[in-house]
Structure 1
Amino acid sequence: MAQSKSKWVQFSAFATVPLVLVLGNSMLVPVLPDMAKHMKLSELQSSLVITLFSVSAGLFIPFIGYLSDRMRRKAVIVPALALYGAAGIMAGMAAVWDSYPLLIAMRSVQGLAAAGTSPIAMALVGDMYKDGEESEALGLIEASNGAGKVISPIIGSLLGLWSWYAPFFAFPFFCAGSLIAVIFLIKEPKQKEKPLPFKKYIVEIKAIYAKNLAWLLTAYAAGALGLFILFGVLFYLSDMLEKPPYSIDGVAKGGLLAIPLLGLVLTAYTTGRLIKNKKKLMRKLMLIGLSVIVLSLSAAAIWHSNLIALISFVTISSIGTGLLLPCLNTMITGCAERAFRGTITSFYSSLRFLGVAAGPPLFSFIAGKSVTMLFIILVILSAASLWLVFRFIHPGAQTTNSG
């Protein structure tokens, strides 16, 4: 009983890391229009506050993943969380001082720090747990990530009622809570072996990719596509809600956007608890999840002008994503030994970040041409991912290192 309690305490500490990762970005979205007004920024300039964060994180994740393979994971996560919060305070001061260059610089630093948080926490979960416990923890991390996306627009909107720059200063408090939880509640096992020499490490990494290239690239692409679609569709839905005849904004809009994300959270958590180390079940759930995405987006292509129908189909698509992501997380995290796990999972996390960053601008551009065409393109991409998963991901496809 005590061991089970200790496990859930550590699981809860792990869950705070993706939560603050999301809050540090998504909580700012509701105040971007006010920020642009007060700082006299163009739409492009204000969007860079979000985009540069994601791009910076995506670019630095592989490098920081490599560092985490060379040292203890917490030695990366703890300073990253501290820098994340400190840069958040400076970003808030830049907003108060009306200094856009400093604001952008600090958001880039926050992105760099974010690269050492949730992606490395995933690798640490793989170090500490196996089979059912690993998938359960990773499912909780994915659910926490989704929960952050549910509450962050609402928190951002509420804080924005007080002051448009209040979310910048609120975030470091959340970050401090996660930092304390990671330091005191997560007991990282000691590294049994010394890090390999750099040349030997590169040889081994190449060997892992040589053996697993087809299914790993398929898994990386499926994860990035899932988040690209999720965030792109939510961005389109957010824009649709603000325009006539709906004109829904603020907390009410955040509540409506929370509906699809709630579907993702509940499904991801349940999937993580179910799959354990059952590779056949993982493959089946990934195929079901992608099929659900294809069918729901096909329906959205037809009925996208009806708000209730669109929210319903987006929610169903999010449920499909909730089936897909925990399976991908577990397979990718478990495919390599501890000495290489940081790098293998970091490339996956990097593509997820870039998928999130690419969604809103590409959706905005394509929707400006034709909303129907937008959903047709998404259906084609999802169907292609479904075929690739069917073709390349199957029980026995995964091997570990080159030995």
Structure 2
Amino acid sequence: MNTTATPSVWKQPAQVWAVAFACVVAFMGIGLVDPILPAIAESLQASPVETELLFTSYLLVTGLAMLVTSWISSRIGAKATLLIGLALIVAFALLCALSGSVDAVIGFRAGWGLGNALFISTALATIVGAASGGSSAAIILYEAALGLGIAIGPLLGGLLGEMSWRGPFFGVVALMAIAFVAVLVLLRGPAEKRTPVPFSAPFTALRRPALAILAVAALFYNIGFFVLLAFSPFPLGFGALGIGFTFFGWGVALAITSVWVAPLVMRRMPRTRIIVTVLPLLAVDLVAAGFLAGDPAALVVCIIIGGLLLGIMNTVLTEAVMEATDLPRSVASSSYSAVRFLGGAMAPPLAALLWHSFNVTVPYLFAAASVLIAALTVFLGRRALAHIDSHGAVPAAEDAQAILVGDAA
């Protein structure tokens, strides 16, 4: 059995590699602008609050679009949805690169978020359908693409950002244009069987108590996530390359615990217990980051430790959502992710505002308090969540699709 496992994973049709490459680039977009935030603020004469809106517009539109992507793709097909998403990312990344004001970049990042939502909500379902070796091979490929993208994004942003803050945006344009051509040419196959998803499905899903509890917890958790990711470049005080290497380490840490550590922990502990254990640890790390923010080396350590904890939380929360209801998992994940993205959208400008109004410690204390609220939400709702602690088998294809949407946040 072991002798055939490796070929089944890595010997894939060209169309699978085309979509996997596009996944890497799409996930690079999460941390790509991180290293250039101070440079954008300086070059475009923008305040930190205005600069942080680059995350807000992107995440807010991505989250809201998640509510309708399944409705769209179930009607026009996966390939058309992928190509539209890629085309929007190319167009709006180019407009970002050519912009002359921070307001324009904020607006174009919103369009980028729409393209990202269309692409990431469809990509893994496509890989699952086309991969040789079954859906388990597709999951491995996706996790590899996710980890690669999250780690490389800040590093590439830092390298290109050393030349100009426009560099990372031009880099995305080039890479996504290659991905568009690859998907257009290589993604072939029999006509898809389409089962239209009702427009109201993601909205009605939030009426389920277990899913609503997890969504609210994820909203507050994501505040902590994006304060650490989007605000930290300012107190670090590094250049674009230094910030890029810092968050490269963060991304590697997150990928390691998400792919390898979280599954090991879930085999030994109930999901709700993991959540109410890891979230307070994350709060402690954020408090430490707040009080040590004046020491760049100490703050880097806190960021890396945060990446380790965030990787566990991302996977465990997503697995919990999969078990929360008997709804199609793609619908449940879309609903959950839409609410979760709201936390990510509001966190960066709020953190910058708190920094401006008080001091550098307060944003991290705000993030720690939000993370503790997330833990308290899960603790108080543990009766409604009791069934997610069972270790029943999850269909691999549905597992992959839910992880795709959940980890995208």
TM-score past 0.5 threshold: yes
Q: Secondary structure of the residue that 1:162 maps to in structure 2?
A: coil
8 Å contact 2:280–2:371 — kept in the other structure? yes
Quote the residue 2:121 is aligned against: 119
- Matched with 2:284 is 298
Residue aligned with 2:118, SS: coil
Partner deviation per Cα, 1:120-156 (whole Å, 9 max, x = no partner): 3355567779xx9657755764664454343323322
Q: Deviations over 1:264-319 (max 9, x none)?
A: 111112258x47xx9x7397356325512312422553574345555445434432
Question: What is the identity, as a one-letter code, of the residue corresponding to 1:315?
Answer: I
Q: 1:38 to 1:320 in 2, by over 3 A?
A: closer
Spell out, residue by residue over 1:324-366, the C-alpha distance to the aligned partner (whole angstroms, 9 max, x if none): 323443554688899x555433223323433322222233344
Cα deviation, residue 81, structure 1: 0.5
Could you tell me whether the CA contact under 8 Å between 2:202 and 2:335 is conserved in 1?
no
1:253 aligns with 2:262: no
CA 1:102–1:397 in 2, change beyond 3 Å: closer, same or farther? same
Q: Distance in 1 between matches of 2:218 and 2:137?
A: 18
Change (3 A) 1:299 1:224: closer
Q: Which residue of the other structure, out of 247, 255, 258, is the alignment partner of 1:265?
A: 255
Match of 2:224 in 1: 229
The amino acid across from 1:158 in the alignment is L
Structure 1 distance, partners of 2:303, 2:168, is: 28
Distance 1:9 1:100 in 2: 39
The answer for unaligned runs of 5 or more in structure 2 is: 396-409
Equivalent residue number for residue 341 of structure 2: 353
Give the Cα separation in 2 of the matches to 1:19 and 1:264.
15
Offset, 1:171: 1.0
Q: Name stretches of at least 5 consecutive residues in structure 1 with no aligned partner.
A: 243-247
Distance across 2 between alignment mates of 1:299 and 1:160: 28
Which of 355, 362, 369 matches 1:377? 369
Pairing 1:281–2:248 present: no
Q: 1:155 to 1:206 in 2, by over 3 A?
A: closer
Distance 1:237 1:103, change over 3 A: closer
In 1: Cα distance, 2:346 partner to 2:242 partner: 26
1:215 match = 210
User: C-alpha distance in 1, partners of 2:223/2:204?
Assistant: 29
Query: Residues 139 and 326 of structure 1 are in contact (CA less than 8 Å); yes or no, is this contact kept in structure 2?
Result: no
What is the match of residue 320 of structure 1? 309
> 2:51·2:102 contact (CA, 8 Å) conserved in 1?
no
Aligned with residue 235 of structure 2, among 240, 243, 266: 240
Question: Which stretch of the first structure deviates more once superposed, 294-303 or 260-269?
Answer: 294-303
Q: Are the structure 2 counterparts of residues 264 and 14 from structure 1 closer, same or farther at C-alpha, using a change threshold of 3 Å?
A: farther
1:80 is matched with: 85
Cα deviation, 1:212-232, whole Å, max 9, x if unaligned, reads x12222333444444332221
2:25 maps to 1:30: no
In the other structure, the counterpart of 1:154 is 155
Deviation, structure 1 residue 76: 0.8
Taking a change above 3 Å as real, the CA distance of residues 39 and 63 of structure 1, as seen in their structure-2 partners, is same
Letter of the 2:52 partner, please give it: S
Q: Is the 8 A contact 1:289 1:324 kept in 2?
A: yes
Give the partner amino acid of 2:273: L
Which stretch shows the higher mean deviation, 355-364 or 133-142?
133-142
Q: Which residue of 1 aligns with 2:406?
A: none
CA contact (8 A) 1:138 1:330 kept: no
| 2:111 corresponds to | 109
Q: Which amino acid aligns with 1:59?
A: L
* CA gap 1:141/1:354 in 2 versus in 1, 3 angstroms: farther
Q: After superposition, what is the alpha-carbon deviation per residue over 1:178-222, rounded to whole angstroms, capped at 9, x for unaligned?
A: 3345446666775446537x5xx75x7788666xx1222233344
Change (3 A) 1:189 1:215: farther
Which of the numbers 317, 325, 329 marks the counterpart of 2:318?
329
> Any conservation in 1 of the 2:221–2:370 contact (CA below 8 Å)?
no
Tell me: CA distance 1:78–1:287, structure 2 relative to 1, closer, same or farther (3 Å): farther
In 1, distance between residues paired with 2:270 and 2:323? 18
Q: Structure 2: which amino acid aligns with 1:361?
A: P
The 8 Å contact of residues 228 and 356 in structure 1, kept in 2 or not, is answered as yes
347-356 vs 303-312, greater mean Cα deviation: 303-312
Structure 2 residue identity aligned to 1:261: G
Give 1:89-100 correspondences, 5 Å limit. Answer: 89-93=94-98, 95=99, 98=100
Asked whether the 8 Å contact 1:22–1:145 carries over to 2, the reply is yes
Contact 2:216/2:374 (8 A) holds in 1: no
User: Is the CA contact 1:84–1:110 (under 8 Å) kept in the aligned structure 2?
Assistant: yes
Q: Do the aligned partners of residues 10 and 390 (structure 1) sit closer, same or farther apart at CA in structure 2, a change above 3 Å counting?
A: farther
Which range moves more in the overlay, 117-126 or 48-57?
A: 117-126
Alignment of 1:196-215 (within 5 A): 202=200, 213-215=208-210
What TM-score results when the alignment is normalised by the length of structure 1? 0.75
Cα distance in 2, alignment partners of residues 207 and 36 from structure 1: 41
Using the aligned pairs only, state the percent identity. Answer: 24
Supply the AA of the counterpart residue of 2:255: V
Question: How many angstroms apart in 2 are the aligned matches of 1:264 and 1:316?
Answer: 9
RMSD (Å) for aligned C-alpha atoms: 4.2
Distance, in Å, in 2 between the alignment partners of 1:303 and 1:208 is: 37
Q: SS of 2:291's equivalent?
A: coil
Tell me the CA shift for residue 175 of structure 1: 0.9
